[in-house]
């Protein structure tokens, strides 16, 4: 029974991932906006992706809770591990990959999605590298790694939530330079390649799980948490990519020095 409680949270992660995909592709009744012509169609698509991003963030919260609940109940199991990976692939691999796909469509259609119907869709398919890299990362994780307290490669939830932050940044920023950058296909290709490479790499990444509350043993995690709160209050969704960069730098610098994280 205890195992089923944790597994229900894992399945809820999968539900949120599926809802995000539906929202990106068509829109849920009452939440999606209908396509309009020209620039209005772009605004509708971005609005739908913003709702999908919130579903992905909810999946991230549930993904954290299912592991926590499994540990508290002593209900960790091989079944739960496999189920968690399948849910993560949908919520943090497929759904974010579709967000990148839609952003590439916006970039190549120059703001007119109706004109994008005649474009070469081979230009959009690199977005699929994210779910492919995520699947590889999860399969390798399930087979076991030679790292005991750190992750081998970027955890797929971290990459998925990074990508999920972009629609919310895109919709809420007034910075013209940032808006122009996010209308550029090369920016999305760079995001796709960086996230995919980090996931399939063997670079040691800091685990964000606290084994105890000792500040001395966990100061990099506390630093990251405090930074996330401060930047979140001041920069809102733009804080996510900045915290992501700090997380990568902290992981690389500290672990290369041999500091256990």
- Mean pLDDT on 145-165: 83
Residues 188, 190, 193, 198: is their CA dihedral positive or negative?
negative
257: confidence class by pLDDT, cuts 50, 70, 90: low
pLDDT at residue 218 tops 60: yes
Residue with tokens 């100061």: 219
| pLDDT digits 0-9 by tens, 189-207 | 999 999 999 999 988 888 7
**What CA–CA distance (Å, rounded) separates 79 from 137?**
18
Q: Kindly report which listed range (106-110, 155-159, 242-246) carries the lowest average pLDDT score.
A: 106-110
Residue of higher predicted confidence among 143 and 77: 143
Greatest mean pLDDT range, 5-14, 71-80, 148-157, 172-181: 172-181
| pLDDT digits 0-9 by tens, 68-105 | 776 666 666 777 788 889 999 999 999 999 999 999 99
pLDDT at residue 2 tops 70: no
Expressed in angstroms, the distance from the first to the final Cα of the chain is 33
> Any idea what DSSP says for residue 26?
T
pLDDT at residue 37 tops 50: no
SS3 of the chain: helix, strand, coil, percent, to 5: 75, 0, 25
Q: Write down all domains in the chain, each with its CATH number in brackets.
A: 2-205 (1.20.120), 207-261 (no CATH)
Q: Which residue, 180, 170, 185, is CA-closest to 127?
A: 185
Residue of higher predicted confidence among 21 and 221: 21
pLDDT at residue 36 tops 50: no
| pLDDT digits 0-9 by tens, 231-245 | 999 889 999 999 999
Contacts of 172 by beta carbon, 8 Å cutoff, 6+ apart: 236, 237
- Mean pLDDT on 113-124: 72
Residue 100 belongs to what H/E stretch? helix 95-109
- Residue 56's pLDDT is 97
| pLDDT digits 0-9 by tens, 205-216 | 887 765 656 566
Helix (H, G, I), strand (E, B) or coil at 261: coil
> Any idea what DSSP says for residue 106?
H
How much of the chain, in percent, has pLDDT values that exceed 90?
48
Residue 135's Cβ-side half-sphere holds a number of Cα atoms within 13 Å equal to: 9
Q: Which residue, 58, 79, 232, is CA-closest to 160?
A: 58
**What CA–CA distance (Å, rounded) separates 123 from 79?**
38
pLDDT at residue 32 tops 60: no
């Amino acid at each position: 029974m205890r195992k089923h409680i944790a597994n229900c949270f894992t399945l809820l992660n999968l539900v949120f991932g599926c809802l995000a995909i539906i929202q990106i592709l068509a829109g849920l009744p009452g939440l999606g906006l209908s396509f309009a012509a020209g620039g209005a169609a772009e605004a509708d698509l971005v609005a739908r992706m913003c709702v999908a991003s919130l579903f992905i963030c909810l999946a991230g919260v549930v993904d954290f809770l299912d592991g926590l609940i499994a540990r508290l109940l002593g209900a960790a199991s091989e079944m739960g591990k496999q189920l968690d990976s399948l849910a993560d692939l949908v919520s943090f691999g497929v759904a974010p990959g579709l967000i990148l796909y839609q952003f590439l469509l916006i970039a190549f259609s120059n703001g007119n999605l109706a004109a994008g119907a005649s474009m070469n869709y081979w230009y959009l398919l690199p977005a699929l590298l994210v779910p492919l890299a995520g699947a590889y990362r999860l399969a390798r994780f399930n087979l076991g790694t030679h790292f005991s307290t750190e992750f081998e490669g970027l955890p797929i939830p971290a990459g998925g939530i990074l990508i999920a932050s972009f629609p919310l940044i895109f919709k809420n920023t007034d910075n013209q330079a940032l808006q122009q950058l996010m209308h550029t296909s090369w920016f999305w290709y760079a995001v796709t390649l960086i996230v995919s490479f980090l996931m399939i790499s063997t670079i040691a990444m800091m685990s964000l799980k606290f084994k105890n509350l000792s500040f001395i043993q966990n100061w990099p995690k506390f630093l990251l948490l405090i930074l996330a709160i401060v930047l979140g209050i001041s920069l809102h969704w733009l804080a996510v990519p900045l915290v992501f960069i700090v997380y990568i730098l902290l992981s690389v610098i500290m672990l290369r020095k041999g500091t256990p994280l």
